Amino acid sequence: MNSGGSVLDLFRLDGRVVVITGASSGLGVSFAQSCAQAGADVVVTARRADRLKETVGLIEATGRQGLAVPADVSRDGDCLRIVQAAMERFGRLDVLVNNAGIEEHVPASRLEIDAFRRVIDVNLTACFAMAQAAAKVMVPGSSIINVASVLGLTTLDFPSTAYSASKAGVLGLTRSLARQWTLRKGIRVNALLPGFFPSEMTETVPVEYLQDRLVMGRLGRPEELAAALVFLASDAGGYVTGSEIVVDGGLTIT
């Protein structure tokens, strides 16, 4: 039980440092802003340096510190550099949010092998590379959150072969890392599975498709997903590891 203050205090991230990949747009920006609102200092990384500056501005508007590290997480050296930058600036790394990702919507018969490899490299291999780099400096009580997708559970009739494969792989990776690192290192590892939220990735999805499948009749709001992420990052989720948190408005029950 929480013998201290209110149960709401468990959701605070005061004094913690969060690293978020893919934080130049969409959900990554919402994650960064929400973690800062919960009290964390936030390191954001993506390839688009100009957009990262805007994210840092949102972080600093909450009164917390932000650090932009332009990088490509599909490069192993960049993953190590991101972690090093966090340690040099803040001296610690408590939460890693593996949010960077790319997608494809090409029928499997026309999907080029190089395009398949690129999706796997960014969505899955880089997820492991960032987790491995972060785990080397994390202390017990830290948290790794891998942003997967409901497309790792079901196809939803999308021709997203590489994307679905990569996100299913993220779920397997999450379970394996949780099994190895929670007991040995005290690091919780969980997966967050979004449904459809406003983002660059969902802009191309036909409205008719969504209306036929969304039980709640609408897209998710970014703050609704960010709230689940803060839960996993904070002491509120202190007894949760190896889990898959689905936030999809009932999409996968149809």
pLDDT band at 155 (very low <50, low <70, confident <90, very high): confident
Per-residue pLDDT band for 132 (boundaries 50, 70, 90) equals very high
Separation of alpha carbons 69 and 42, rounded Å: 11
* Average per-residue pLDDT for the chain: 93
The structure's pTM equals: 0.94
Q: Judge contact between 116 and 163, C-beta under 8 A.
A: no
Give pLDDT, residue 139. Answer: 98
Rounded Cα distance between 149 and 152, Å, is 5
| pLDDT above 50: residue 1 | no
- 164 has a pLDDT exceeding 90: yes
Residue pair 187/238 in contact (Cβ under 8 Å)? The answer is: no
The string of DSSP letters for 3-34 reads -SS-GGGGG--TT-EEEEES-SSHHHHHHHHH
Contact 189, 144 (CB under 8 A): yes
Q: What is the pLDDT of residues 17-55, one digit of tens each?
A: 999 999 999 999 999 999 999 999 999 999 999 999 999
Which residues fall within 8 angstroms of residue 102, CB to CB, at 6 or more apart? 118, 119, 122, 123, 163
Reported as a single tens digit per residue, the pLDDT across 135-147 is: 999 999 999 999 9
Is the confidence at residue 148, as pLDDT, over 70? Answer: yes
Angle at 216 between CA 98 and CA 26, to 5 degrees: 30
Q: Is 60:50 a contact under the CB 8 Å cutoff?
A: no
163 labelled catalytic: yes
Catalytic residue among 31, 90, 116, 163: 163
* Over residues 4-17, mean pLDDT: 93
pLDDT of residue 31: 98
Q: Give the three-state DSSP class for 190.
A: strand
Average pLDDT of the segment spanning 183-203:
88
Residue at 27: amino acid letter: L
Q: What residues form DSSP beta bridges with 96?
A: 19, 144
Domain 12-249 CATH (choose: 3.90.1150.10, 3.30.930.10, 3.90.226.10, 3.40.50.720): 3.40.50.720
* 152: DSSP letter: G
Q: Looking only at Cα atoms, what is the longest distance across the chain?
A: 58
Residue 132: count of CB within 10 angstroms of its CB: 15
